[in-house]
């Protein structure tokens, strides 16, 4: 079986995600991480291309793109280039860095 590819679907607040079809995926990730959901937490949601699977990752202040890539790698999933660049821009902007990619 080949490698799967993850595409960034959206970045949103938990509150908004719980009120959408993504709510169950957010709840599953929170349970995996033994994390209490907070409405203002931010999550990145990825679609695994060719499947109906979604992967959710919490974007905390100290979250690095490489951490997400490592978690995806354990699932035999590669983050596509455009999604990686968009995620980097979001994380840098959130930290007050204005790096252009």
Mean pLDDT of the chain: 92
Residue 53: inside a domain? yes
Residue 100: inside a domain? no
pLDDT band at residue 95 under the 50/70/90 scheme: confident
pLDDT, one tens digit per residue, over 52-88 is 889 999 999 999 999 999 999 999 999 999 999 999 9
**Would the pTM count as exceeding 0.85?**
yes
The C-alpha atoms of residue 100 and residue 90 are separated, in whole angstroms, by 11
pLDDT at 3: 82
The C-alpha atoms of residue 53 and residue 6 are separated, in whole angstroms, by 10
Q: Which residues partner with 56 through β-bridges?
A: 45
**What are the DSSP calls for 11-26, one per residue?**
EEEHHHHHTSTTHHHH
By residue range, what is the domain housing residue 12? Answer: 4-94
| Length of the chain as a residue count | 101
Residue 101: inside a domain? no
51 Cβ contact list (under 8 Å, min separation 6): 4
Given a contact cutoff of 8 angstroms between Cβ atoms, the answer to whether 46 and 8 are in contact is yes
In total, how many domains does the chain have? Answer: 1
């Amino acid at each position: 079986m080949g490698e799967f590819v993850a595409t960034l679907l959206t970045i949103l607040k938990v509150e908004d995600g719980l009120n959408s079809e993504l709510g169950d995926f957010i709840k599953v990730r929170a349970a995996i991480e033994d994390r209490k959901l907070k409405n203002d937490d931010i999550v990145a949601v990825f679609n695994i291309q060719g499947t109906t699977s979604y992967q959710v990752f919490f974007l905390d202040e100290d979250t690095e793109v490489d951490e997400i890539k490592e978690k995806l790698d354990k699932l035999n999933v590669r983050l596509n280039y455009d999604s990686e660049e968009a995620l980097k821009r979001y994380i840098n902007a959130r930290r007050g860095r204005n790096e252009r990619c």
